[in-house]
Structure 1
Amino acid sequence: MNGLHLTADLSGVDPALPPMTDPAALAALCRDAIAASGLSGVAELFHRFAPEDAQSGITGVVLLAESHVAVHTWPELGGVTLDVYVCNYGSDNSARAEALLDALLKAFAPCDAAVQRLTRAAASTPRQ
């Protein structure tokens, strides 16, 4: 379970960006960023919240062979939260996780981004 968990809280995102309110646009953005980073998507779900109009936010999740990426949009607030977690089973995927997060940050172009990095390893540490 050794891996890297990245989160980012974005503010000042243009609510008119298609991935903010269009599930298909957010799904395409995520798929493209995953492929470009060298990770492997295995399943996905994108949901627009009620009221299901052009201004409703979206939650999207892509399961990765390496773990997951989740995106939540709040167009009414110009906010987005990002969650990228990759396991390092077999190889170190940290650079791929960073590349995926960077691609999403670039696409949303926030005025501000608070990024957190957490190394996940406790469960894979042998017990004494």
Structure 2
Amino acid sequence: MKGLHLTADLYRCRCDEAWLTDPQKLGAWCVAAVQAVGLQAVNQLFHAFPATAKGKGGVTATVLLAESHVCLHTWPEEKAVTCDVYVCNFSGDHTAKARGLMFALVNRFQPEWTEQRSLDRGEEEA
């Protein structure tokens, strides 16, 4: 189950508001980004949350991959996004693809700053 888990917290995103509030727009772009880096989407779920007193509701976008998953959560009232990319390296090393996908996600939202983390998952083979 060796793999790579990448996370990014994006703050003060300068993208168009629709990227934070429109589940169809964000979802279609996520699927295209997955394909562009050479990963394989096998299912997807895009959900919009209702507006609150603070403004428009955010979106959760999840793309299940043959290699694992990508998931985003948006907070338009905060202009913030969390990104989660996990790939298992069972059938091959997908590390570069995961890093390329995270790079594309961060660039899509144009944050003023990010906090990114990388976690190697599973044990090394003996």
TM-score, normalised by the number of residues in structure 1? 0.90
Partner of 2:17: 17
Cross-structure match for 2:118:
117
* CA distances 1:21-53 after superposition (whole Å, capped 9, x unpaired): 00011101201110111000000001111238x
TM-fit CA distance, 1:19: 1.6
Percent identity among equivalent residues?
46
1:40 alignment partner in structure 2: 40
User: What is the identity, as a one-letter code, of the residue corresponding to 1:38?
Assistant: G
For structure 2, list consecutive stretches of 5 or more residues without a partner in the other structure. none
What is the CA–CA distance in structure 2 between the aligned matches of 1:60 and 1:125, rounded to whole Å?
33
Unmatched 5+ residue regions in structure 1? none
* Aligned amino acid, residue 100 of structure 2: A
Q: May I ask how many residue pairs the two structures share in their alignment?
A: 124
Q: Deviations over 1:82-124 (max 9, x none)?
A: 00000001210000000000011111110001100000013x7
Give the counterpart letter for 1:7 in structure 2.
T
Give the TM-score normalised by the residue count of structure 2: 0.91
Q: Once superposed, which parts of structure 1, at least 4 consecutive aligned residues long, lie more than 2 Å away?
A: 14-17
Alignment check: 8 A CA contact 1:15 1:76 kept: no
Match of residue 5 from structure 2: 5
Q: Distance in 2 between matches of 1:87 and 1:77?
A: 32
Kept in 2: contact 1:61–1:70 (CA 8 A) = yes
* SS of residue matched to 2:93: coil
